[in-house]
Amino acid sequence: MATMGGDRRQMMEDVAEDKFPEGLRILVVDDDRVCLMVLEALLRRCKYQPTTVMDAKTALRMLMAGKQQFDLVITDVRMPDMDGFKLLELIRLEMDLPVIMLSVDCDKKVVMKGIEHGASDFMVKPVRTHELKN
Amino acid sequence: MMDLSEPTMDYSNLRRQITFMKKSFFDQGYLDEQFNQLEELQDESSPNFVEEVVALFLKDSPRLLSNIEQTIGKYPQDFYRLDSLVHQLKGSGSSIGAVRMKNECSVFKAHCNDRNLEGCRRSLQKMKREHATLKQKLESYFQLLRQVGPREHAVNSRK
C-alpha cells in the first residue's frame, strides 16, 4: 500500500500483529449482491462476524443507531446512492472506526483519494483470504 | 453414505468429465483463480456455495446488461452512468472469476472514458456473447456436479 499517516500506520501495525481477534464485527457495504455474498463468506471463513448492507445510507443509519457495535467497516468505493469516499468521510467525522475501501481497480488516484479521506486501507476486488487476515 | 447400487464406472466417468470441463474453463480463459477461491469457501455449512454464487451472478447480470443497453440508447449520452453500470458488472464478474467478462468490462470502461459510443456498442455486443457462453458453460458444469451428488464436490480438483 502507499505510505500512510501516523495513527493509521499504527492501526495497520496492530492488524499485522494480529491484535484483531476472531469475532471482529465488520460492516460490509457494497451495492452488488454477488460481491457481498463472496465477501461475507470470505470474512466468515476468517472467523470474523460480517454484517452486509447494500447502500451507504443504511450503513450510516446502522452505525449511528449504535444498536449493533462494529469494529471495522469495509466499503466499496463506488455506489449509486452515496459514493464510498463520502461514506468514509462521514464515518471518520462521527466515530473512530477504521474503514477499508474496496474497489474493482487499483487506480492510484483512487487509492490516494481514499487515503486523503481517511481510509485505513485499500483492497482490490476480488479480495483474497490472506489480504483479510492481514 | 455410499449407494451400492450405483455403478462405480459411471461415477468415475462423471468425475473425469467434471474435472476435464473445469480444466477447459481455465485453459480457455473463461475462469481464473477466483473460481478456485470460491470452491475453497464451500464447506459443510455452505455445501452449495459455488453454485449459489454463480446462480446469483447469472440472475443479476442480465439485468445489468439490459440497463447498460438502455443507457447506451439514451440521448444525450450519459457516459458516467454507463461507466458506473459497467463498473458494477466488472466487480461482480471478477468476484466469481469470470475473467473474460472482467477484461471486456475494462475495455468498455476505457471507451466510456474516451466517450467513444461506437466502442461502447461493440463492447456491449461482445459482453452479451461472453455472458451467454459463460452461462451455458457454467450451467452444464453444475448440472454435471449435481449428477455426482452431494457426497463429493469438485473442491479438490485443481486447474
pLDDT at A120: 82
Residue B100 distance to chain A (closest CA, Å): 14
Contacts of B96 in chain A (CB under 8 A): 34, 38
Q: Which residue has the higher pLDDT, A132 or A92?
A: A92
Domains annotated for chain A, with CATH where assigned, are 20-133 (3.40.50.2300)
pLDDT-derived band at A67, boundaries 50, 70, 90: confident
φ, ψ for residue A89, nearest 5 deg? -60, -45
The pLDDT of residue A34:
95
Averages of pLDDT over each 10 residues, chain B, 159 residues: 63 91 96 94 93 97 97 93 93 94 96 96 97 97 87 48
Task: Report the CATH number at residue B62.
Answer: 1.20.120.160
* CA–CA min distance B48, chain A (Å): 12
Closest chain B residue to A127 measured between Cα atoms?
B95
Q: For residue range A94-115, what is the model confidence (pLDDT) as tens digits?
A: 888 989 888 877 666 777 777 7
Q: Which residue of B has its CA nearest to A102?
A: B91
How far is B80 from B85, CA to CA, in rounded Å?
Answer: 9
Domains: count for chain B = 1
A50-77: average pLDDT = 92
Q: Say what the pLDDT of residue B2 is.
A: 58
* Prediction pTM value: 0.82
**CB of B53 within 8 Å of any CB in chain A?**
yes
Percent of chain A exceeding pLDDT 90 equals 32
CA distances from B146 to A40, B117, B152 (A): 25, 43, 10
pLDDT, residue A32, reads: 93
CB pairs under 8 A between A and B: 57
Q: Phi, psi at residue B150, to the nearest 5°? A: -75, -10
- The Cα of A6 is separated from the nearest Cα of chain B by a number of Å equal to 31
Give yes or no for B41 touching A (CB within 8 A): yes
**What pLDDT shows up at residue B125?**
97
Whether residue A34 and residue B87 make contact (CB cut-off 8 A), yes or no, is no
Range of the domain at B110: 2-156
Task: Encode pLDDT of B6-18 as tens digits.
Answer: 566 688 899 999 9
Question: Does ipTM exceed 0.95?
Answer: no
- By 3-state DSSP, what share of chain A in percent is helix, strand and coil, each rounded to 5? 45, 20, 40
